[in-house]
């Protein structure tokens, strides 16, 4: 009888997720990092490669990045986004397909990938909050705290800088608040910056800047959809209202495209709603087992960097797999790099290596690792992102071309 009970327990024990089954980003052929190099290479900017081979070159290119607009979310809301939905096929002179954001699927990482044309293992922003090897502190790469010299942290030129140097009329049209931020400096600088408050003003000015050059590259951005998703969830009326507004903005810009232009609508990540239930929100600050041997907890709820105290890496990896391995892909730094989570398999810039956790936890189920005391604001969010699930990782690449 005792043997039978033990046998039954073993049969019901949760099975660890297979790391080889994690849907790795398509670096080099279909990720956010490949978009601007492809467009700029088609405009004759030297030193860049067209990784997304099916995109036809255009003299004038505009990228409209909508923060938090995942491919899966557009597909799930055709009534709120009729114009965007029409672009999922091949109508209106355009085409639509998903590409991958990159890992983690989070704003700081994705914007750096977009602007530099490099994967996280190269540009060095591999998460929301990561360890600075020089100081041993956690560095929040979205808020840039504590202060770190931007060009030391991310030394590579942006695609905008390369395009500007090659004679392409290059512009960023976004909120005035972003003009002098470190993230803008290291990821999106180059050419001219134009701050506008309203979405409508940004669309109108983006169209004018697109027409201003014989060859032009324009970037514009809208963030409020992401904010509504975080606060209220992607199943909320507030989020749906923002989606309806975004849909109108895209149509407004599309209808103003000058000749020889292509507009590309994309995003930095999607989002999932995390239930406010104990088994869906694992509180690291209240779990002694997960904290054993851990010096720092970085990343965010659905994509954690775990930094072990010296000598405890193997034990931390074992415990995290035992506790969370049926709901998270749990990998060592070496495994994650070899599998290509942060860039081409096996690649990592030497200066970036220590920023990546000794252990990485990427959520597969609708769960998050929160930290109620040390991260009270982030732990209270309704919508989250960061991992490699389709809802977070797949972002749209919607193309509209003028005549």
Q: Give the chain's length.
A: 403
Q: CA–CA separation, 281 vs 274, rounded Å?
A: 8
- What are the helix (H) ranges across 80-128? 82-86, 107-116, 120-123
Phi, psi of 331 (to 5 degrees): -130, 150
Domain with CATH 3.40.720.10 in the chain: 32-273+389-401
Tokens representing 171?
A: 């512009």
Q: What is the pLDDT of residue 12?
A: 57
Q: CA–CA separation, 332 vs 326, rounded Å?
A: 16
Specify whether the CB–CB gap between 62 and 202 falls below 8 A.
Answer: no
Q: CA–CA separation, 245 vs 314, rounded Å?
A: 49
Phi, psi of 381 (to 5 degrees): -70, 140
Q: Which of 149, 145, 125 is CA-nearest to residue 137?
A: 145
Tokens representing 367?
A: 């769960």
- SS3 at position 353: helix
Q: State the residue for tokens 């998903």.
A: 98
Neighbour-count burial of 331, counting CB atoms closer than 10 A to its CB (0-12 exposed, 13-18 middle, 19+ buried): buried
Tokens representing 291?
A: 């904290």
Q: Which of 241, 388, 363 is CA-nearest to residue 302?
A: 363
Q: CA–CA separation, 4 vs 10, rounded Å?
A: 10
Multiple choice CATH, 281-382, 3.60.20.30, 3.30.1360.180, 3.40.50.1820, 3.20.20.370: 3.30.1360.180
Q: Which of 81, 394, 154 is CA-nearest to residue 268?
A: 394
User: What string of DSSP letters covers 156-183?
Assistant: SPPHHHHHHHTT-EEEEEE-GGGTT-HH
Long-range contacts: 295-299, Cβ < 8 Å, 24+? 296/131, 296/138, 297/369, 297/371, 297/374, 298/127, 298/128, 298/129, 298/130, 298/131, 298/138, 298/357, 299/104, 299/127, 299/128, 299/129, 299/130, 299/357, 299/360, 299/361, 299/386
Bridge partners of 31, per DSSP, are 100
Round the CA-based radius of gyration of the chain to a whole number and report it.
21
Distance of CA 149 to the CA centre of its chain: 22
Domain with CATH 3.30.1360.180 in the chain: 281-382
For the domain spanning 32-273+389-401, the CATH number is 3.40.720.10
Q: Please state, in angstroms and as integers, the Cα–Cα distance from residue 355 to each residue in 76, 343, 350, following that order.
A: 36, 14, 10
pLDDT per residue as tens, the chain (403 positions) = 343 334 443 445 679 999 999 999 999 999 999 999 999 999 999 999 999 999 999 999 999 999 999 999 999 999 999 999 999 975 444 579 999 999 999 999 999 999 999 999 999 999 999 999 999 999 999 999 999 999 999 999 999 999 999 999 999 999 999 999 999 999 999 999 999 999 999 999 999 999 999 999 999 999 999 999 999 999 899 999 999 999 999 999 999 999 999 999 999 999 999 999 999 999 999 999 999 999 999 999 999 999 999 999 999 999 999 999 999 999 999 999 999 999 999 999 999 999 999 999 999 999 999 999 999 999 999 999 999 999 999 999 999 999 7
């Amino acid at each position: 009888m005792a043997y039978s009970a033990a046998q039954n327990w073993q049969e019901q024990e949760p099975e660890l997720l297979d790391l080889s089954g994690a849907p790795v980003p398509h670096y080099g052929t279909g990720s956010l990092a490949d978009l601007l190099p492809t467009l700029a290479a088609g405009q004759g900017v030297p030193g860049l490669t067209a990784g997304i081979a099916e995109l036809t070159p255009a003299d004038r290119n505009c990228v409209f990045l909508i923060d938090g607009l995942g491919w899966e979310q557009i597909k799930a809301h055709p009534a709120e986004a009729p114009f965007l939905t029409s672009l999922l096929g091949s109508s209106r002179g355009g085409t639509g397909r998903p590409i991958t954001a990159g890992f983690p699927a989070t704003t700081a990482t994705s914007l750096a990938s977009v602007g530099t044309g490099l994967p996280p293992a190269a540009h060095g922003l591999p998460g929301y909050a990561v360890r600075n090897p020089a100081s041993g502190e956690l560095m929040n790469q979205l808020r840039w705290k504590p202060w770190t010299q931007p060009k030391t942290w991310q030394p590579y030129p942006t695609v905008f800088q390369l395009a500007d140097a090659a004679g392409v009329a290059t512009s960023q049209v976004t909120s005035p608040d972003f003009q002098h931020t470190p993230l803008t400096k290291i990821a999106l600088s180059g050419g001219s910056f134009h701050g506008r408050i309203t979405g409508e003003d940004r669309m109108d000015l983006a169209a004018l800047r697109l027409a201003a050059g014989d060859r032009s590259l324009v970037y514009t951005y809208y963030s409020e959809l992401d904010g509504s998703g975080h606060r209220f969830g992607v199943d909320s009326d507030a989020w749906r209202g923002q989606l309806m507004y975004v849909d109108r903005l895209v149509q407004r810009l599309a209808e103003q495209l000058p000749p020889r232009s292509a507009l590309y609508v994309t995003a930095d990540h999607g989002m999932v709603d995390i239930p406010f239930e104990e088994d869906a929100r694992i509180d690291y600050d209240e779990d002694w087992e997960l904290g054993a041997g851990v010096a720092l907890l970085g990343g965010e709820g659905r994509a954690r960097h775990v930094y072990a105290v010296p000598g405890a890496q193997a034990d931390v990896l074992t415990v995290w797999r035992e506790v969370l391995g049926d709901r998270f892909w749990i990998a060592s730094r070496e495994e994650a790099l070899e599998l290509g989570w942060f860039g081409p398999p096996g690649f990592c810039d030497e200066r970036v290596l220590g920023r990546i956790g000794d252990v990485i936890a990427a959520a597969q189920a609708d769960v998050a690792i929160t930290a109620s005391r040390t991260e009270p604001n982030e732990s209270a969010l309704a919508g989250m992102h960061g991992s490699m699930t389709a809802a977070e990782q797949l972002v749209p690449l919607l193309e509209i071309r003028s005549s």
